[in-house]
Amino acid sequence: MKRFLAVLLAALLAVTMLAACGDNANDDPQNGGNGNEVVGNGDETPDNGEADGEDDVQGDEDVVVMSYAEYAAAELETQVVVETYVQAKQSWWENSATLYTQDQDGAYFIYNVACSEEDYAKLTEGTKIRVTGYKAEWAGEIEIIDGTFEIIEGDTFVAEPKDVTSLLGTDELIDSQNQLVSFKGMTVEPSTDADGNEVAYLYSWDGSGTEGDDLYFNVSVNGNTYSFVVESYLCDSTTEVYSAVKNLQVGDKIDMEGFLYWYEGVNPHIISVTPAAE
């Protein structure tokens, strides 16, 4: 009996310690620590008051899903409903997610869509989702904001990068906004760091950042220079592309892939950098 009790107590001890030392990585940090105060930045739920999750999605018979052409033609600030496929996830915080999505016809940047952490984990590359939100523009970037989504099982789609190198500097480039694109044979141009030195990349746009911040670098083709970025929420300092950019030298010829993001002009979020194919 005593031996049994000892074993039982030991087992309980082990379970206790396991429970106590469990993975806290998924804990909501806002409820962590002192636990008395939760402060959001207003993104916990959509601003229009719509609740998260599938409960709010209307029945299929009521939903008018737009084609990409209809979405592109829609006025800003109007409600849109699209079905699209997740290509990459940028971030999740306080029950909202930011996603790069695309269908066979065009791409949709989904900013701060209401999303539980559990649902965020389900959003793997190619997952089909139906998004209901508002079309908006921020610094030239067309996006869907204040949205909700549901996952549509079955169908998947992963976009192939579209080579837009020849479109750089043209008015047509914006037609591919947010799509997975590639740039071929571009040359790394110098940036000027905080000390006035010429370097191949900068932490943050002006060199004011540190390891882990966005990486900015200049690349040129046909005599024109463009600023590209490794967005640290999308590709953090542990990723291959982050390391690849840190290893760039001025004058290197490179191929790149990324999402054709816009900020006061084209500002691609680069996800891959490789030496230019001969």
Residues near other proteins, by CB under 8 A: 1-2, 5-6, 8-10, 12-13, 15-17, 19-22, 24, 27, 29-42, 44-45, 47-49, 77-79, 93, 134, 136-139, 146, 193-194, 204-210, 213, 263-265
Q: How far is the CB of 226 from other proteins (least distance, A)?
A: 11
| Tokens 């966005």 found at | 214
Nearer Cβ to other proteins, position 1 or 64?
1
**Which CB atom, from 157 or from 263, has the smaller least distance to other proteins?**
263
Of residues 13 and 151, the one with the C-beta less far from other proteins: 13
> Which positions ≥6 away from 265 have C-beta within 8 Å?
140
DSSP summary character for residue 69: H
- By beta-carbon proximity to other proteins, the closer residue of 193 and 252 is 193
Alpha-helical regions (H) of the chain? 2-20, 68-73, 117-122, 240-246
Q: Indicate the residue among 95 and 102 with the shorter CB distance to other proteins.
A: 95
Q: What would the DSSP string read from start to end of 37-49?
A: -----S-SS-TT-
Min dist CB 171 to other proteins, Å, is 14
Name the minimum Å distance from CB 79 to other proteins.
8
Q: How far is the CB of 224 from other proteins (least distance, A)?
A: 12
Find residue 132's DSSP bridge partners.
Answer: 81, 148
Q: Please, what is the minimum distance in Å from the beta carbon of residue 6 to other proteins?
A: 6
Cα distances (angstroms) measured from residue 234 to each of 4, 154, 239, 271: 53, 26, 10, 8
What's the CA gap between 142 and 129, in Å, rounded? 18
Residue 262 DSSP class:
B
